[in-house]
Amino acid sequence: MRRETERYESYWMATTQGGNHPPLSEPVDVDVAVVGGGIAGLCTAWELSRAGRRVALVEALRVAESVTGHTTGKVSSLHGLRYARLIREAGRETARLYARSQQEAVEHVVATADELGIDCDLERAPAYVYAESPEVRDEVRAEAAAACEAGLDAVFTEETDLPFPVLGAVRVPDQVQFHPRKYLLALVADILAHGGQIFEDSRVVGLSEGTPCRVTTESGVQVTARDVVVATHYPVFDRALLFARLRPVRELVVAGLVPASDAPDGMYVSPETRTRSVRSAPSSEDGQRLLILTGEKFTPGARGVERRHGRLAQWARDRFPSLRPMYRWAAQDASTTDGMPYVGYFHPGTKHVYVATGFDGWGMSGGVMAGRLLAGMITGAKLPWTDVYDPRRLHPLREALPFVKAQAGVARHFVGDRIRLPKLDGALQVAPGTGRVLRVRGRRAAVYHDPGTGLRAVSANCTHLGCTVQFNDAERTWDCPCHGSRFGVDGAVLNGPATRPLEPVEVDRRPGEDGGEKDGGNRGGEGGG
């Protein structure tokens, strides 16, 4: 259960205030258009502006807010149990290039913060992947050897500063934890200082590839550019069919104060218990640090998000009894079928459109890496690991099983969620503060009961590819289980790949009155919260 002192808000968002950047209101002609204002887009725009390119960054909502504003702020080259798999499936050279690119991203953040004088709570800390069971201990031991073989300063250890016992861990020293918003808002200021342009509240809905390229916002205004970078987390354009090779993942976060003596110095993650991640950050309260705990991975659209939050909070209280919860939020990412991000040319036929996506929970180091890689491709300074991340790669043997599983899940939702739904026959059919997918006047509708104003209904068909959205009872949103689009209860797009809102559905909003259909309906069936 949520404690009264908790705020459902990201700590990074609560402790920073972004600038006000205008919407795109008139045509712009630049060298490079960057679509998306998260860490990948901002780092790309920053690298290019420093290289002398004329850059325009176009963001649908606000820069450094959507996915990037809800991370855990770890910049590390140790990515769970990644290197043993890479060596086994892709070879030692690929693993070495991956490790080098990620570690260079870590050092690039440190160097950039120092160069620009960014006060972003940056701290050097060791990163750990730990095990609590014998089975995972064996995997962790193998990962330590693989990470070392890939070139990281990795060791297996049985010693940590966690307040609970573990059976073993991989340790890589001198990684980074920071306040991602403070860092990125400083990059925004430097982009502007170097002549770059940033536009907010400007959702891009069209892309025309040519010489030059053009991107078009929902208001019809265009940016003309030689090169275009699509850095919208999940690509908003389907022409490369990357959506079929990406799987959206959502993860929960709880954060609160603990005495500094109870806070671990390292950054920890375990693949067990639906993933558990632990790290701490500086606090403005004397003798206290902010403890940040992450876990409970699930696919957007899964039911029982509030219950998952409860499990994570209980795990946190069991292991850190002094924790005083203050914030909780959720993060979203996408994983690829072969476990490697897609950064590079958007599709085989293009020479001027690029993409960055699929960071699988490691978007801080991945976003910095992507910015350097894409800027190098555009300026002619190709980096050694460029081919490793090429989105045009195909590895049928490595990708076949994950691809089949991902598409089976999409098909299950696309077909199964279209079974006959109960009809809406009154506001009390949907409990206050919850939502259900019901049939309203012959249409599938996502119906939310606002405790103050009554019913609010929108189409239940995701505007991306038509999957049926489901209610998220913790965040009060409608989430698509197929490709991760998320919408407010008013239908507004919160996360892509959808670019259009859910259409409103007419319904009687008055509590306790008829909701729009007269035949009494069926009160069983589709549940929402």
pLDDT in tens, 207-242: 999 999 999 999 999 999 999 999 998 888 876 677
At residue 68 the predicted structure's pLDDT band, cuts being 50, 70 and 90, is very high
pLDDT in tens, 425-479: 555 578 888 888 888 877 888 999 988 888 889 999 999 888 899 999 888 999 9
- pLDDT of 379 strictly over 80: yes
What pLDDT shows up at residue 524? 33
- pLDDT of 509 strictly over 80: no
What pLDDT shows up at residue 89? 92
Q: Which residue has the higher pLDDT, 364 or 484?
A: 364
What pLDDT shows up at residue 516? 46
pLDDT in tens, 184-203: 999 999 999 999 999 999 99
* Under 8 Å between Cβ of 395 and 85: no
At residue 514 the predicted structure's pLDDT band, cuts being 50, 70 and 90, is very low
What pLDDT shows up at residue 19? 80
Q: Which domain holds residue 465?
A: 417-529
- pLDDT of 114 strictly over 60: yes
How wide is the angle at C-alpha 183 spanned by C-alphas 177 and 188, nearest 5°?
Answer: 160
Mean pLDDT of 376-404: 80
Q: Which residue has the higher pLDDT, 415 or 333?
A: 333
Structure tokens at 135: 């089975």
Residue 232 in domain: no
Task: State what percent of residues in the chain have pLDDT above 70.
Answer: 88
What pLDDT shows up at residue 504? 93
At residue 339 the predicted structure's pLDDT band, cuts being 50, 70 and 90, is confident
**Separation CA 218–CA 24 (nearest Å):** 10
Helical H runs in 195-354?
305-319
What pLDDT shows up at residue 506? 87
pLDDT in tens, 4-40: 467 889 999 999 998 899 999 999 999 999 999 999 9
**Separation CA 75–CA 63 (nearest Å):** 19
> pLDDT averaged over the chain?
88
What pLDDT shows up at residue 424? 56
Residue 528 in domain: yes
At residue 510 the predicted structure's pLDDT band, cuts being 50, 70 and 90, is low
Residue 55 in domain: no
Cβ-proximal residues to 108 (8 Å cutoff; 6+ apart), any chain: 368, 372
Mean pLDDT of 377-391: 96
Question: What is the three-class DSSP state of 451?
Answer: coil
Residue 196 in domain: no
pLDDT in tens, 172-187: 999 999 999 999 999 9
- pLDDT of 525 strictly over 60: no
- pLDDT of 512 strictly over 50: no
At residue 517 the predicted structure's pLDDT band, cuts being 50, 70 and 90, is very low
* Under 8 Å between Cβ of 278 and 437: no
Total domain count for the chain?
A: 1
* Residue the block writes with tokens 């993933």: 275
DSSP string, 237-282: --TT-GGGGEEEEEEEEEEEEEEGGGS-SSEEEESSTT-EEEEEEE
Residue 462 in domain: yes
pLDDT in tens, 92-103: 999 999 999 999
Structure tokens at 496: 């892509």
Q: What are phi and psi of 132, to 5 degrees?
A: -110, -10
What pLDDT shows up at residue 2? 44
Mean pLDDT of 265-282: 93
Q: Is the dihedral of CA 95, 100, 102, 106 positive or negative?
A: positive
- pLDDT of 1 strictly over 50: no
Mean pLDDT of 283-305: 92
Task: Say whether pTM exceeds 0.75.
Answer: yes
What pLDDT shows up at residue 401? 53
What pLDDT shows up at residue 396? 54
What pLDDT shows up at residue 61? 93
Query: Looking at residue 521, which CATH number applies to its domain?
Result: 2.102.10.10
Q: Which residue has the higher pLDDT, 106 or 438?
A: 106
Residue 487 in domain: yes
- pLDDT of 393 strictly over 80: yes
Residue 366 in domain: no
